[in-house]
Structure 1
Amino acid sequence: MKIVDLRDCPASGLFYGGRAGQKEGILVDGVPWIAKYPRTTRDLQGKNLPPYTSSPVSEHLGARIYASLGIPVHETMLGYRNGKIVCACKDFTFPGKRLFEFKDIKNALSDDDGGFDSAPSDGESVFLGDVLATIETSDLLRSVPGVLERFWDMFVVDAFIKNPGRSNGNWGVLMDASFSYELAPVYDLGSSLFGKRGDSLARRRMLDESDIDQDAFGTNVSCYRLPSNDGRGASIHPFSYMAQTVNPDLDAAIKRFMGSVDMGRIDALIDSVPAEAYGRPIMSEAVRASHKLLLRRRIDEGFAPLLARIVEREG
């Protein structure tokens, strides 16, 4: 895997939002890209954190894993700029497209619409039922092919790569100049694959079987929630939820995933990340081994039993 020298790329004059570290608009061969920098950990809670997160590497690996599954995802590359390893993400709105995030579309719903656990127009609500009701209720989302399938594909793959950062604000649709809409590619994957974990913690947690199981499944929490008596919602642990839920759309997404995943290809992708470049560390051998171990554990002990139950149910 090549780490591209981005030091001489000019600023594009475009600016991008988000809370997970610096984002800089740059031009690569005249085309707008976003340089996503590692976030400092000085304001983050937790022991044994490295000075900066590995979120650029997580962004790139998460995107390439999505691509290996045949799911449209934004174009990324790892690069070096301003003394740091960054993930450059091609601006998929260029030229002439506008991104409408799911929360924006949900915010257009009438509060008179039924079937919601909170106000339909609350774009930030992550009650799972509200998200699904929005997909069923919104005229726009009903008109765009593949929205429900994309939602469940992301639910499944985000569980596989442990991406807790999915929200109503980082998936949606693109509109072109003719007011035609299409699904945006999957993007914003910097929280996946334990992006805040350093070498020493990765090494230590691989020594204990209960820690491995906890990292593979126990700490794997979705952004989506289920209704609860206190009104705040109950966390969804995706593997427990998938095991306890009979939903044909979710079942279809699990079957698509298991029919496409190639662990040999994913291992090779992880192995292709260099240990260092430009004098900066990128991926230690402990982190590399941890990624491969946890992903395989989720296949063997998570998705394989889920698929077997689906096949048995379907006869």
Structure 2
Amino acid sequence: MIDFTQCDVEPLRVYDGANGKKICVIYNNERYMLKFPALARNNPVMHYSNGCLNEHIASSIYRTLDITTQETILGIYNGKMVVACKDFCNPGDRIVNFAMIKNACIDSSLNGYGTELEEVLQSIEEQNLYDVKEIKEHFWKMFAADAFLGNFDRHNGNWGIIVNELTRETRIAPVYDNGSCLYPQLTDKQMEKILETRSEIENRLYVFPNSALKIDNKKINYYNFLTKTQDIDCIRALQYVTEHISMDKIKKVIRNIPMTDIQQQFYLTMLIERKEHIIEKAYQLQKERGYIVTKEPKKTPKKKKSTNRKYVPRI
């Protein structure tokens, strides 16, 4: 892993967010946000969570889905594991997270951080910062990918639009802040215990983690929602993610990241399970209902044998 300890710190570049400390360092002449491990408040046996490791794993898997995502590097700083996230803002850019966008929609009854799905979708329709169709497509792809990765904390403050007020240009921000994917507050011992018990695995498929988004003030269960929704935009995103999941690429990602054997086994097992029992199950049910139509591969017509005979003159 890269040791960032001796990198120059850029004190004028600061970052918000609640999960762990963050500083900006210069590495290879480019700015990187170093994220430090946050305290594992729900797990007193750990000094800190696996959030840095999981941030890197989830971001790497996101990229295998061909979804624009932050670039990350695992490293150390003063002896602690950190994840370096390449700063994707150019000079003059700033991130306008969706909470800010939602706050600008005056007809929305809750504040910007309210995560009722209906209000989020309404705010996407009402905002005039970016093309509605494209931001809705991005939102649902992110939702489907988060369902695969078990992200429990995709709220309105950690996705959005990049704006440049000088050039008046806008673009969707790469997916970032993925440290809440793949059960970040488990020790190796707890991972081992889960793998030994089928009911423990199934709890983490069908019971938790849930989405941070809500319906009627209740967090959305990924399995229940994806298998029952009639939202065609969500179903298209489910189809996209299902068809872009490559376990060969994902296995390569996991095996190239320094981690313990039990961590590697746990992550691969849970990803295979979530793919089969959440993503593919929902895909199949939606396909049976007629909401998903797949294109049949075109058959290459067989070349007909030529019936023309070569003329051979008689001698």
TM-score, normalization: structure 2?
A: 0.88
Measure the CA separation in 1 of the matches of 2:272 and 2:211. 19
Cα distance, 1:145 vs structure 2: 5.8
Contact 1:145–1:182 (CA under 8 A) maintained in structure 2: no
For the residue of structure 1 that corresponds to 2:196, the secondary structure is: coil
For the residue of structure 2 that corresponds to 1:190, the secondary structure is: coil
Measure the CA separation in 1 of the matches of 2:132 and 2:169. 9
Residue by residue over 1:31-78, the C-alpha shift from the partner in whole angstroms, topping out at 9 and shown as x without a partner, is 21111111233xx1335x321211111111111111000000011111
2:260 counterpart of 1:261: no
Contact 2:43–2:185 (CA under 8 A) maintained in structure 1: no
Structure number, greater radius of gyration: 2
- Find the partner of 1:127 among 116, 119, 123: 116
**1:45-64 superposed matches below 5 A:** 45-46=42-43, 49-64=45-60
For the residue of structure 2 that corresponds to 1:139, the secondary structure is: coil
Amino acid at match of 1:269: V
Measure the CA separation in 1 of the matches of 2:92 and 2:162. 10
Amino acid at match of 2:248: G
Measure the CA separation in 2 of the matches of 1:4 and 1:295. 27
Number of the residue aligned with 1:309 = 285
For the residue of structure 2 that corresponds to 1:146, the secondary structure is: helix
Cα distance, 1:86 vs structure 2: 0.7
Measure the CA separation in 1 of the matches of 2:281 and 2:153. 26
Measure the CA separation in 2 of the matches of 1:207 and 1:12. 46
Measure the CA separation in 2 of the matches of 1:215 and 1:287. 16
Contact 1:217–1:298 (CA under 8 A) maintained in structure 2: no
- Find the partner of 2:145 among 157, 169, 193: 157
C-alpha RMSD of matched pairs (Å): 1.4
Unaligned stretches of 5+ residues in structure 1: 228-232, 275-282
Measure the CA separation in 1 of the matches of 2:256 and 2:30. 26
2:72 counterpart of 1:72: no
Unaligned stretches of 5+ residues in structure 2: 294-315
2:94 counterpart of 1:98: yes
Contact 2:125–2:132 (CA under 8 A) maintained in structure 1: no
Cα distance, 1:144 vs structure 2: 6.0
Number of the residue aligned with 2:231 = 247
Number of the residue aligned with 1:210 = 199
- Find the partner of 1:5 among 3, 6, 14: 3
Number of the residue aligned with 2:218 = 234
For the residue of structure 1 that corresponds to 2:95, the secondary structure is: strand
Number of the residue aligned with 1:147 = 135
- Find the partner of 2:177 among 165, 176, 188: 188
Number of the residue aligned with 1:137 = 126
Aligned-pair identity in percent equals 30
Measure the CA separation in 2 of the matches of 1:88 and 1:220. 26
Cα distance, 1:313 vs structure 2: 2.1
Cα distance, 1:89 vs structure 2: 0.5
TM-score, normalization: structure 1?
A: 0.88
Q: How many residues align?
A: 289
Measure the CA separation in 2 of the matches of 1:305 and 1:64. 24
Amino acid at match of 1:160: F
Amino acid at match of 1:81: Y
Number of the residue aligned with 2:309 = none
Measure the CA separation in 2 of the matches of 1:35 and 1:124. 25
Contact 1:38–1:52 (CA under 8 A) maintained in structure 2: yes
Contact 2:36–2:52 (CA under 8 A) maintained in structure 1: yes
Residue by residue over 1:213-236, the C-alpha shift from the partner in whole angstroms, topping out at 9 and shown as x without a partner, is 112231120001112xxxxx1121
